[in-house]
Structure 1
Amino acid sequence: MLASKILPPLLLGFLLSATATSQAAQSLPTIGDTSSSIVSLQQEARLGDTWSRMLRGRAKLLEDPIVYGYLEDLLWRLAGNSALSQPQLDLITVDNPTLNAFAVPGGVIGVHGGLLLSAEAEDELASVLAHELAHLSQRHFAQQLEQERRNRPFMMAAVLGSILVAAADPQAGAAALTSTLGAGELARLSFSRQNEQEADRLGMATLASSGIDPDAMPRMFERMQRSMRFYGDRPPEFLLTHPVTQSRIADALNRAAQLPTPNAKQSSPEFDIARARLQVHYASRPGVVLEAFEAAAQQSGTSRDHYGVAMAASAAGDYTRALQALDKLNNDWKRQLYVRISRAEILHAAGRNTDAEQILAELNQLYPNNLPVQKTYARLLQDMEEPARAARLYESLLIHHPNDIDSRFNLAESYGLNGQILRVHEARIEYFLRTADVDSALRQVDFALKEKNLSESDRARLETYKQDAEQLREDLKMEF
């Protein structure tokens, strides 16, 4: 019942009918490799694009630009040293405190905010991302579809559906996955043991090539295994689809011992900053987490803990204490980009917009096309009632991050405040298309077509949007 409230009817219909239909599987093209007799690379890209639109429209996304920017940088660092031949990645950060990460055909990588809370060092976080990149590079989803074809074709679509549910509601996701698989079929329809071992092996090689300790992967596995006792009968989705056993940990330890161990730190200031922000974000009471960071800062005196004090104090509305905490950071931390953005955020929250803008204007010159800088600056300009300047920043940001739906929403708002009505319609159409809301997109097209003084090129552009919406409607049927 809950799944029907989260998944669109077209997907539900597909999930219900897919396991009973084998004719479609027989007609799919083969592109020549052992993992593509069921799904071609082009179909994987279509599946990933459609699925990511659905996820963005139904799950609560984590819109913290610093956390997103950090994860994106780390992901691309790993991708450049992975087995992916031509990395084309689409990162989605989900505002969910549970431990989870997932890879979907077409290069979609999803990360729950809770993953950064579960990892206690950057290399542990990197090990999970490297593992998911390995699943993509080896096309394990396509291999699973091939394996399932004879008995239950397209069951993997149901697994993808359960991930979609889990992103919006972790308990519902676990229930959906369990009911999809049945009590005796969970291991069969999760990634196979061979797939997991391959992803472990390639993931650790990616870590080593990226200058990260490959031993981080078995260390993260051990942390996950120890945490299982706290979850009872509701383990995180990641542990349902990626079961951690003692033999798997032992195998990972043996493999890690055969790889070079770089002389690199386990964590970075960027990791500590992102993690502290999420610790505050997910705290039910900011005052409690503020006390914890203050106690840690008094004991350790580290910049990491002082930064945590700043974030927690700002969340509690004590901006003076927050700025004082930033002043206690060492000089390296004070010069760090994310810290400078954080200072601007606190000044903005305190109503000191002129001071905040001075910082962000300088950073925008120093770091052009930087998502955390542009997004933070654009939000400030919106609040300063300068929609034209905000719109220009959002337009620039969306060139490099077209799937940032939060920025698309705010771009429409900026256009509206600036009186650019046709652009409001177009920005809203794009927003609805990228969140798989076909009906709303088509209604917005109709509204736009009723505007006066439209040029022929305007009408042609709107008709193209209508065609894109109808194509998306067909894609949502997911007839793979």
Structure 2
Amino acid sequence: MAALLIVLAPCQAWAMFGSITVADEKEMGKKFDNAIRAQMSFVDDPEVVSYVKGVVDRVAATLPPQPWTIQSAVVGQGSMNAFAIPGGYIYIFTGLILGVENEDELAAVISHELAHVTERHVAKRMDQMRFINIASIAGVLAGALIGANGGGTSTNAIGQAVATGAMAGAQSAFLMYTRENERDADEVGIVYLMKSGYNPDAMPKTFEIMQKQHWFMSGSDNVPTYLSTHPGLSERVAYLRDRIRRMPAEVVAREYNRDKFLRIQTLVRARMSGADTALAYYNSKPKTEMLCLDYAGKGIALDRLKRMSQAEHEFETALACGDNDPLVLREAGIFYFNKGDFAKAGPYLQKATIMNPRDAMSLFFVARLMAERKDYKSAISTMERVVREVPEDSEVRFHLGRIYGESGDLFEAHLQLTYAALYGRDKKNMQFHMDKTKALAATETQKKRLAQLQKAAGERFDKGAQGEKRSP
């Protein structure tokens, strides 16, 4: 749903002669992903990431055969938005999760965005141009999207910096989704939504939410006029509703998916929105409507505000009614771990992992508890399980490196710390630990692991990357 800023760089480009190939789209998608990851904060909570991936995969399963795998990521940003790009990448903002009311509405936006990809709207617009520089496109497109979705001065500045760097010495032109593109994405997207088993009325309902929130009004702080790509929402709601009226009654009567969505929304609100805003939400909610997980969410918000005694009270309230909820157990365990009460944290985290063995966050803290007890063998084994679940999480790699170092395995310690710096886009520390890893690589196995690390570093910091990650 975001605008597309495309750079024409005749001096450095090659002639495409009106033909954007699948390979070109894949390359642009990969370079864009590198650029956006270098500049924005991505959510790494496996509970949130896996949930969103599940919704995306459910919609993607209804698409016609695609030449790429659909890949999703969650951006920690408050705008009520999502966008998909050529190459099969789709990004969902935490603001969208907070802005909609159920999973069907989230899926509606995802369906709309994936329709832009399957209809090749970006590629078709690019086909009208003779000269295309894929690297410049990726950089400026990333800058445009960062600026458009920033909702704040610092983020907009980052977007402008990325765009300026990519435009050096080049002509520039704006390409936006047209009214026809948007209508196509609505019409195709609502089919994907319906085939996925969701209620199709969620799409016009989501547009109505956007109208009420003024997220996409021209001239708003969130979307500048030149990047507003949502023309005629009222008109689009009307024709979608007209189309829905002709659908089978049993399709329109489908129940909205809420339970799992509301759990994820609680996590996003408590951990990823402003702590004061989250606390105000829970304080305004009638006690008769408060769920066990809501008390845990309130505890998270209070913890973030350093109001520890109040936070503990809320966690104890949550545990009193939700001691069989793995998410409540996990969040209480994390609270007590960070407080330094390992004896109290342990049972909650252990029970959470038993109830949900795939929860990498619970396993991560269990591994750290094992390391605190100097049970390095168990700690390493458990943290390696976490790495298999979230291989590009810099914090997981960092703690695994520390555990290896404490156990005396310096090669593995520096190897993991190199990966931590790589995924955190910290070139200076990456090079430091890379040099240490090289010096310590003695066996054939170690040399192979070093070669794999060097390959990963080369791919991450290739010509398409837009520099080191910036501080918010």
TM over 0.5, shorter chain:
yes
Q: Deviations over 1:313-360 (max 9, x none)?
A: 44432244223431465xxx7644433423433443454434433343
Q: Deviations over 1:430-449 (max 9, x none)?
A: 34444566675455433322
Q: Which is further off, 268-277 or 344-353?
A: 344-353
Alpha-carbon distance, 1:392 to partner: 2.5
Q: Deviations over 1:135-187 (max 9, x none)?
A: 3333333223213x148766743223322456774433676799999xxxx99
Alpha-carbon distance, 1:62 to partner: 2.8
Match in the other structure for 2:470? none
Contact residue 170 and residue 236 of structure 1 kept, 8 A: no
Contact residue 86 and residue 117 of structure 2 kept, 8 A: yes
Q: 1:135 aligns with which of 111, 116, 119?
A: 116
Alpha-carbon distance, 1:306 to partner: 4.3
Match in the other structure for 1:448? 437
Change (3 A) 1:284 1:193: closer
Q: 2:230 aligns with which of 234, 243, 263?
A: 243
Change (3 A) 1:162 1:443: farther
In structure 2, C-alpha distance between the alignment counterparts of 1:74 and 1:347, rounded to whole Å: 32
Match in the other structure for 1:416? 405
In structure 2, C-alpha distance between the alignment counterparts of 1:218 and 1:406, rounded to whole Å: 40
> What does 1:368-387 correspond to in 2, within 5 Å?
368-378=357-367, 380-381=369-370
Change (3 A) 1:363 1:304: closer
Q: 2:144 aligns with which of 159, 162, 167?
A: 162
Question: How much identity, in percent, do the aligned residues show?
Answer: 24
Q: Which is further off, 241-250 or 169-178?
A: 169-178
Change (3 A) 1:159 1:52: closer
Contact residue 56 and residue 434 of structure 1 kept, 8 A: no
Contact residue 78 and residue 273 of structure 2 kept, 8 A: no
Contact residue 280 and residue 312 of structure 1 kept, 8 A: yes
Match in the other structure for 1:273? 263
Q: TM-score if structure 2 supplies the norm length? A: 0.77
Contact residue 112 and residue 185 of structure 2 kept, 8 A: yes
Q: Deviations over 1:97-149 (max 9, x none)?
A: 222322233332222222222223332222222222223333333223213x1
Contact residue 59 and residue 167 of structure 1 kept, 8 A: no
Q: 1:322 aligns with which of 314, 320, 339?
A: 314
In structure 1, C-alpha distance between the alignment counterparts of 2:397 and 2:231, rounded to whole Å: 39
Q: TM-score if structure 1 supplies the norm length? A: 0.76
Change (3 A) 1:468 1:177: closer
In structure 2, C-alpha distance between the alignment counterparts of 1:40 and 1:221, rounded to whole Å: 31
Task: Say which SS state the counterpart of residue 442 (structure 2) adopts.
Answer: coil
Contact residue 99 and residue 236 of structure 1 kept, 8 A: no
In structure 1, C-alpha distance between the alignment counterparts of 2:127 and 2:268, rounded to whole Å: 39
Residue 124 (1) aligns with residue 124 (2): no
Alpha-carbon distance, 1:255 to partner: 3.2
Change (3 A) 1:262 1:84: farther
Q: Which amino acid aligns with 2:446?
A: D
In structure 2, C-alpha distance between the alignment counterparts of 1:118 and 1:81, rounded to whole Å: 25
> What does 1:321-340 correspond to in 2, within 5 Å?
321-327=313-319, 329=321, 335-340=324-329
In structure 1, C-alpha distance between the alignment counterparts of 2:148 and 2:428, rounded to whole Å: 25
Residue 74 (1) aligns with residue 55 (2): yes
Residue 64 (1) aligns with residue 45 (2): yes
Contact residue 363 and residue 382 of structure 2 kept, 8 A: yes
What 5-or-longer segments of structure 1 have no aligned partner?
1-14, 29-35
Match in the other structure for 2:469? none
Residue 195 (1) aligns with residue 185 (2): no
Match in the other structure for 1:12? none
What 5-or-longer segments of structure 2 have no aligned partner?
467-472
Residue 215 (1) aligns with residue 197 (2): no
Match in the other structure for 1:6? none
In structure 2, C-alpha distance between the alignment counterparts of 1:444 and 1:54, rounded to whole Å: 24
Q: Which amino acid aligns with 1:159?
A: L
Q: Which amino acid aligns with 2:106?
A: L
Match in the other structure for 2:414? 425
Q: Deviations over 1:367-417 (max 9, x none)?
A: 443434434534555566655434333322333433333323333333333
Contact residue 396 and residue 420 of structure 2 kept, 8 A: no
Change (3 A) 1:414 1:233: farther
Match in the other structure for 1:37? 19
Alpha-carbon distance, 1:470 to partner: 4.4
Contact residue 28 and residue 86 of structure 2 kept, 8 A: yes
